[in-house]
Structure 1
Amino acid sequence: MINFINRYEPYILGLFFLSLLVSKSAIYISLTLLLILQLVLLHNNKKAIDYISSNHLFTISISTFVLGIITTFPYNLNFVDSGEFIRKSILLLLFPILTLQLKNSRNLHFAQVSLFTGLYIAVGYSIYNMIVLGGWSGERIASFWDVGRWSEVLGYILAMTVPFYLENKKTKTQNIILLFTILISSVCLLVSGGRGPLLAIIITLTIYLLIRNPKLLIAIATTIIFVAFIGQDVPAIHSITERVFSIFGLNTLPSNSARLAMWEQGFNFTVHNLINNPTSFLFGVGINNFEESYTYYIESIGIKQQLIELTENNYSFTDMHNTYLDLAIKLGFIYLLSYVSLLLALFLHFLKKAKTNPNIAYSAMALILTYIITGMFYTSGLEFQTSIFFSLVALCYARITNDEYYYEK
């Protein structure tokens, strides 16, 4: 069995990281293989259990997963919610052992190469989609994921690679690869039309550069403003600047008005549950029961048609367009607290490492901050983007953390 792990573990990890940006089906397959592999590893290596139990980050991660299982427990023998939660959030369970597996240099190498190979394949497919259109005239260009998820993942890639590029002492080849990755990811993010991830990465990198390299921030900002100003007659530049400015058109764009209205009513629905149904407030109304419960609430206060007309039919009754409201309503306030606690604990962990390992620490903190900000605009807590996010965090954790436990099979 040990030989089995030694032989196939790098390839399973490679398949998993390759699939993150390329194929949902491959993610399902590789997650299943990864779960089996981790169970075998735990059975054969008892030290792994000590490794998990002695780390508060891993305890919070697993506890959050268990809490999600409890809140979706099928009291009526309907396992739909539980199945949905497990499929989308199982990385919370796999995260601790995944970091352990990535401490092995061979596994780490396979994972990193596979991740960036998947990125380049996804970028290539996005470029192909653009070519099929006969050029770009402001359309939202997707890849294997739809435009929303694709832009979100690109935001995470940029959040990781930019600080790593600026902080790390690299060879010339590494410099070229990282710079190429940053450039193509930036272009794909801009043409994807994902305003939430774009705003998140702008905020994150502005904060990072203010702290680490203010002169570079001024140079970049000046260049962007100059290009935007003189390039307004260029259709591509005009489309991009319009899209960026549209982020702040709160009262002029129906999609922005819809988001504000959804946040307001989502908050009101949460308060309604707190007052009238404390159990639903604490443990949620359920994943698949959400639409029915929420629509009933909106109809009961008589504003459904008003919301539809106000937002020009952009109002959604299926999610909140906000990860934190969405989790609070579907899985309950207790789960939300646990989930946010995990994000903050991870951020603080990397903050403590910033002086000794700035290249990885700032990359990880930028990644986490980008995820947190993106969650204000997108509903990602019960989507595959969260699996991608925690996989990237696991890579950072494995590279930066020198635990007393060493990888031994």
Structure 2
Amino acid sequence: MEYSQPKWPIESESKISRNIWLSLWALFAVSMFVSKSGISIFGTILLLWSLFKINWKATIRQNYWFAVLLSIYPLAILVSLLSIAGLDAALKVAREWAWPLYIIPFSLLFQDKKGIKVFSWGSAIGLIAAFIKAIVLFGSDWHWALGSQTRVASFWDISRWGYFLSCSSVVLFALIGHSVTWSKMNRLQKVALPLLLVCSLVFLVLSNTRGPWLATFLGLAALGVSGKRYFKMLCAFAVFVVLSLVVTPGVLDRLESSFSAKTENGVVTSKDASNAGRLHMWQVNLEMAQENLFFGTGFESVEKPLREFIEKKGTEYRNRYVFSEFSFRDQHSSYLQILVQLGIVFFVFFWGVVGILVLLSFRAFFKSQDVWVKTAFALTVTQLFMFIFYSSISSFEGLWFYPTLLVLSAAVMQHKAKLNIA
């Protein structure tokens, strides 16, 4: 599957330039699991370099979805200019939400076999380092005790760590379960990848993060119904889940609490404080969004208008919805975040593009034997579920999302080309 063509063939690059390019990808891959600063520094260099390295005309001609995905960034800046916060919000988008632009360097990486190998090894090293950090924290913070309150993090905060573990589990599951890919692996890879998968799942249990846990079920289930080998692995995963519920007290109750919602005095709430806070935030933000429907409050500019909205509603309204678990800055949902901060115009465009790509690539996921398509589709489904509970779409987690959309777009174009030939 081809994604883009570089402006200059890889073979014509100088050895020094080539080695620097690969080294940056290695450092960037390691940073994905261990360092925000590393992602920002190495990612920015790769992004700027790729602006001159890519053949824009050929890339867009081969895949017009590439231009559509890139347009997310300038459109977000534009609607923020028209929002309540205006220029300040637009500048925040420009500085803090460049994640859609990362499809540019990734489009070059995906057609570079050696680059993919370097990135894969870097990711593995970063993941192992994160496991070691988690083991240290498990001992120092929790004294090796398993309980309903145990939540073992790593270099990242607990929510992001759970998110990354869920994504790594799905990717590893997809690679191991793909017969052709597995048959081409060497002995080291056939030992390392299953170990990384098991460790990812174990630390996902220890993180005690409900959204990522449930999303992992969904992503692996999608893979499980797409092939016989995947189904066998899914059965093994089911055994792992049962053992996890038996060994780790409180995990089942915590998962079940995700669905514990009730109506009390006309308010949708939950017996679980965290759930109640999230449900109350959703309700209040949905009501406020109606007052700034078209262009929203502005990116990362929601606190002031939200406080003013609650103040206008009065003391009774505030007492009903606002308590310790309520956040004035985070909508705790990527879908709601886009609607509230960037408005319904951007909401329809953004999620419309994502939805169309998922629908168009659905057939390819089941019919194609391409490991890229299998992995990207399952990973996209996994993240779309986590977006219900986390405002991850505009944060570091976006590094897992936009490249997967690029792969799905390539699958859609490839399928279209086959139809035209037929």
TM superposition score category, shorter chain reference: 0.7 to 0.9
Letter in 1 for 2:284: Q
Please tell me whether residue 256 in structure 1 is matched to residue 275 in structure 2: yes
1:293 aligns with 2:305: yes
Q: Identity, % of aligned pairs?
A: 23
Give me the whole-angstrom Cα distance separating, in 2, the residues matched to 1:226 and 1:30.
40
Conservation of the 8 A alpha-carbon contact between 2:85 and 2:301 = no
The structural deviation recorded for 1:389 is 2.9
Structure 1, residues 187-238: CA drift from partner, whole Å, max 9, x if none?
111111211111111123234324535566556546644764xx3xx5xx21
Q: Which amino acid aligns with 1:194?
A: T
Contact in 1 for aligned 2:372/2:407 (Cα 8 Å): no
Deviation at 1:144, TM superposition (A): 0.9
How high is the TM-score relative to the length of structure 1?
0.84
Q: Aligned pair in 2 of structure 1 residues 136, 82: CA closer, same or farther (>3 Å)?
A: farther
Task: State whether structure 2 residue 369 is matched by structure 1 residue 369.
Answer: no
**Contact 1:89/1:386, CA 8 A, preserved across alignment:** no
Q: 1:123 to 1:395 in 2, by over 3 A?
A: farther
Asked if 1:164 is matched to 2:188, the reply is no
Q: 1:205 to 1:257 in 2, by over 3 A?
A: same
User: Which one of the candidate residues 146, 166, 169 is aligned to 1:137?
Assistant: 146
- Equivalenced residue count is 384
Q: Aligned equivalents of 2:412 and 2:63: distance in 1? A: 15
Given the alignment, which residue of 191, 212, 215 partners 1:176? 191
1:64-107 deviation per Cα after TM superposition (whole angstroms, max 9, x unaligned): 11101212339999864334323443231230342123311121
- Aligned partner letter, 1:308: V
Matched, 1:127 2:135: yes
- Tell me if structure 2 keeps the 8 A contact 1:360–1:400: no
- Over the aligned positions, Cα root-mean-square deviation in angstroms equals 3.0
Corresponding residue number in structure 2 for 1:347 = 358
Gaps of 5+ in 1: 274-279, 405-409
The separation in 2 between residues aligned to 1:65 and 1:94, in whole angstroms, is 11
Asked whether 1:329 is paired with 2:340, we answer yes
* C-alpha displacement of 1:377: 0.6
Q: Give 2:179's aligned amino acid.
A: N
Between stretches 189-198 and 346-355, larger displacement belongs to: 346-355
Partner letter of residue 391 of structure 2?
Answer: T
User: Which residue does the alignment assign to 2:206?
Assistant: 191
Seen in structure 2, the aligned counterparts of structure 1 residues 81 and 264 have a Cα distance that, compared at 3 Å, is same
SS in 2 for 1:318: coil
Cα distance 1:339–1:5, how it changes in 2: closer, same or farther (>3 A)?
A: farther
Flag as ranges the 4+ runs of structure 1 deviating above 6 A.
Answer: 74-78, 395-404
> Are the equivalent residues in 1 in contact too, given 2:215–2:382 (CA < 8 A)?
yes
Q: Take 1:77 and 1:290, find their aligned partners in 2: how far apart are those partners?
A: 9
Higher relative contact order (CA closer than 8 Å, sequence separation 6+): 1
Seen in structure 2, the aligned counterparts of structure 1 residues 220 and 382 have a Cα distance that, compared at 3 Å, is: closer
Give the distance between the partners of 1:76 and 1:266, measured in 2 at CA. 15
Q: By how many angstroms is 1:157 displaced?
A: 1.1
In the alignment, the residues of structure 2 paired with residue 180 and residue 306 of structure 1 have an alpha-carbon distance, to the nearest angstrom, of 48
Q: Distance in 2 between matches of 1:349 and 1:314?
A: 39
CA distance in 2, matches of 1:115, 1:395: 19
Amino acid paired to 2:112? N
Deviations 1:134-190, CA, capped at 9 Å, x for gaps: 213332111111001110111111122212221233244333222111111111111
- Distance across 1 between alignment mates of 2:412 and 2:355: 17
Tell me if structure 2 keeps the 8 A contact 1:99–1:398: no
Give the superposition deviation at 1:61: 1.1
Structure 2 segments unaligned to the other structure (5+ residues): 1-7, 262-269, 418-422
Change in 2 beyond 3 A, CA 1:216/1:177: closer
- Paired position in structure 1 for 2:93: 85
In structure 2, what is the Cα distance between the partners aligned to 1:242 and 1:221?
A: 18
Q: Decide whether the 8 Å contact of 1:351 with 1:361 is kept in 2.
A: no
Q: Check the 8 A contact 1:99/1:394 in 2, yes or no.
A: yes
Residue 296 to residue 106, structure 1, CA distance change in 2 (3 Å): same
Q: Deviations over 1:264-290 (max 9, x none)?
A: 2222222x22xxxxxx32222112431
Aligned counterparts of 1:382 and 1:73: Cα–Cα separation in 2: 17
Summarize the Cα distance change of 1:218–1:288 in structure 2 as closer, same or farther, 3 Å threshold: closer
DSSP 3-state at the match of 1:300: helix
Match of 1:276 in 2: none
Change (3 A) 1:118 1:342: farther
Distance 1:348 1:11, change over 3 A: farther
